[in-house]
Structure 1
Amino acid sequence: MGALLKLTDAVLFLFFLVIALVAPSLDAQTCLPATIFPEFLVDLKSWYGREYGDYLVTEKPHFFVGLVWLELLFQWPLSLLNLYGLFASKSWFGTTCLIYGVSVFTSMGMSGSSENS
């Protein structure tokens, strides 16, 4: 059972680390001016939008901008808090993971229903 917990912690660490890095560097470009980001990050996001045909990235519909704001103001700080809680073995780590998961699940459900409208 201990090995399974260590594996789960490693997966959660990688997930929260990716969110902690990607949210302010790439996702924030959706709702903040591109001039405040390094050129290589702007080019990377533009390349992604063109290469994969991601209309959310290229067209920036209003509902998507709102979801990015939710991520930046609520989910991103929670991911940083979860990284700390994971390293420090805090007792509240499970609770903040649950809060983060509910927020992501809700925003994914909102984006799916908006696309189908």
Structure 2
Amino acid sequence: MGALTSVLDVIFLAFFIIHIPTTLLVDSQSVFPAEYYPPWAKEALKWHIEMNGDHLVSKNPTWFVSLVWGEVLYQLPFFFVASYAFIKRRNWIRVPSIIYGAHVVTTMIPILTDILFGPDSGPKRHTLAAIYVPYLIVPLLLLVRMAVVEQPFGADDASKRGVKRKAQ
């Protein structure tokens, strides 16, 4: 299990770090005015919409915009905190990770349902769903990883010192 959790932890860290510029430069375009973004970021989003048929981003229904606000206001700060915690192997990230994972898994259900079965889903819905599925799977794996152990990175220094003192 140790090698698997180490691989997962690297995946989680990469996910958090990659998600920071993605949220700032791409996803947040659904909630902030276009003039806040460099032309290349607007073009990248336009390309994604055209290439993958992302009707959610192109039409920005109110329910979707509310989820993007959640990403900007809650998830974006979490990405910074979680990146630090995973780099430094801090066990205090366990509960915030469980909350984050449950939140994201819950938000991805209506997003994927709309992509696959909504009235605006198009011929590229399977491609679009494949793009969005990692945003369900990675947080779900994080949720499970953090839920199954009390100290995801092992005993911290304070706990180790406490054990040594009791033994003396």
- The TM-score normalised by the length of structure 1 is 0.89
Q: Which runs of 5+ in 1 are unaligned?
A: none
Residue 34, structure 1, aligned to residue 34, structure 2: yes
C-alpha displacement at 1:109, in angstroms?
Answer: 2.8
Residue 55 of structure 2: aligned partner: 55
Paired-residue identity, %: 30
C-alpha displacement at 1:9, in angstroms?
Answer: 1.1
3-state SS of paired residue (1:92): helix
For the 8 Å contact 1:63–1:111, the answer to whether it is kept is: no
C-alpha displacement at 1:80, in angstroms?
Answer: 1.3
For the 8 Å contact 1:13–1:83, the answer to whether it is kept is: yes
Residue 23 of structure 1: aligned partner: 23
Q: Which runs of 5+ in 2 are unaligned?
A: 120-168
For the 8 Å contact 1:23–1:71, the answer to whether it is kept is: yes
* 1:61-76 correspondence runs (5 A): 61-76=61-76
- For the aligned residue pairs, the C-alpha RMSD in angstroms reads 1.8
1 or 2, which has the higher helix percentage? 1
Ranges of 4+ aligned residues in structure 1 off by more than 6 Å: none
Structure 2 distance, partners of 1:47, 1:72, is: 22
Rg (Cα) greater in structure? 2
C-alpha displacement at 1:64, in angstroms?
Answer: 0.8
- The TM-score normalised by the length of structure 2 is 0.64
Deviations 1:28-73 (A, max 9, x none): 1111011111000000001110111110111111111111001000
Residue 94 of structure 1: aligned partner: 94
The amino acid that maps onto 1:12 is: F
